[in-house]
Amino acid sequence: MVNRYIPLALRHSPTPRIEHFALLAGLEAAVRGTLISAMPLAVYAALGTAQTTSLVYFLAGIVALIWGLMVPWATRFIPRRWAYTGGCLLYVLGMALAILGTAWSVPLALVCNAMATATTFVCFNAYVLDYVDRGNLGRSQSTQMVYAATPWAVGPLTGVWLHDHWAPAPFLLAGAFALTLLTAFWILRLGNGKQIQRARRPAVNPLGYLGRFFRQPRLIAGWMFAVMRSCGWWVYVVYLPIFCIEAGLGDKVGGIALSISNALLFAAPALNRLGRRLSVRRSVRAAFGFCGACFVAAGLMALLPWATVAMCMAASIFLVTLDVVGGLPFLMSVKPSERTEMSAVYSSFRDVSGILTPGAAWLVLFVAPLPGIFVAAGIGLLAAWAVAGQLHPRLGAARPSRGGMAGA
Among residues 45, 256, 39, 31, the alpha carbon closest in space to that of 157 is found at 256
Q: Are residues 218 and 331 in the same domain?
A: yes
Domain assignment present for residue 78? The answer is yes
What are the angstrom distances between the C-alpha of 164 and each of 44, 103, 141? 14, 19, 34
Q: Are residues 64 and 178 in the same domain?
A: yes
Q: Are residues 162 and 248 in the same domain?
A: no
391-393-394 Cα angle (round to 5): 115
CA 8 to chain centroid, in Å, comes to 27
Among residues 25, 13, 353, 357, the alpha carbon closest in space to that of 177 is found at 25
Contact residues for 201 (Cβ-Cβ < 8 A; gap 6+) = none
Query: Where does residue 158 rank: exposed (0-12), middle (13-18), buried (19+ CB within 10 A)?
Result: buried
pLDDT of residue 407: 38
Domain assignment present for residue 326? The answer is yes
Looking from the CA of 106 toward its CB, the CA atoms found within 13 Å total 23
**What is d(CA 70, CA 64) in angstroms, rounded to the nearest whole number?**
10
Among residues 265, 225, 264, the alpha carbon closest in space to that of 395 is found at 225
Q: CB atoms < 10 A from the CB of 248, how many?
A: 7
Helices (H), 166-304: 169-188, 208-214, 217-234, 240-246, 253-263, 268-278, 280-300
Q: Are residues 273 and 374 in the same domain?
A: yes
Q: Are residues 167 and 263 in the same domain?
A: no
Residue range(s) defining the domain that contains residue 328: 211-393
Domain assignment present for residue 274? The answer is yes
Residue 365 near residue 246, CB atoms below 8 Å: no
pLDDT of residue 401: 46
Residue 402 one-letter amino acid: R
Domain assignment present for residue 407? The answer is no
CATH of the domain at 231: 1.20.1250.20
Q: Are residues 285 and 371 in the same domain?
A: yes
Q: Are residues 97 and 237 in the same domain?
A: no
Domain assignment present for residue 206? The answer is no
Domain assignment present for residue 378? The answer is yes
Q: DSSP letter at 404?
A: -
SS3 for 395?
coil
Residue 369 near residue 302, CB atoms below 8 Å: yes
Q: Are residues 75 and 176 in the same domain?
A: yes
Q: How many domains does the chain have?
A: 2
Q: Are residues 178 and 231 in the same domain?
A: no
Residue 72 near residue 123, CB atoms below 8 Å: no
**What is d(CA 380, CA 375) in angstroms, rounded to the nearest whole number?**
9
Domain assignment present for residue 404? The answer is no
Q: Are residues 155 and 254 in the same domain?
A: no
| Residues 87/92/94/99 CA torsion (nearest 10 deg) | 170
Query: Where does residue 51 rank: exposed (0-12), middle (13-18), buried (19+ CB within 10 A)?
Result: exposed
pLDDT of residue 198: 41
Q: Are residues 83 and 111 in the same domain?
A: yes
Instruction: Kindly report whether the global pTM for this prediction surpasses the value 0.75.
Output: no
Q: Are residues 243 and 338 in the same domain?
A: yes
Domain assignment present for residue 227? The answer is yes
**DSSP secondary structure string for all residues of 9-20:** GGS--SS--HHH
**DSSP secondary structure string for all residues of 131-182:** HS-GGGHHHHHHHHHHHHHHHHHHHHHHHHHHHHH-TTHHHHHHHHHHHHHH
Contact residues for 11 (Cβ-Cβ < 8 A; gap 6+) = 3
- Note down pLDDT in tens along the chain; length 408 residues: 444 555 554 444 457 788 889 999 999 999 998 888 788 778 877 887 656 776 787 788 888 888 887 887 887 788 889 999 999 999 999 999 999 988 899 999 999 998 999 899 888 988 887 888 766 777 787 788 788 888 888 888 888 788 878 889 999 999 999 999 999 999 988 776 655 444 344 445 545 667 777 778 888 888 888 899 999 988 888 788 778 878 888 767 777 787 788 787 777 777 777 766 777 778 888 889 999 999 999 999 989 999 999 999 999 989 988 887 777 777 777 777 676 677 777 777 877 888 888 778 878 888 888 899 899 999 999 999 998 887 766 665 555 444 443 333
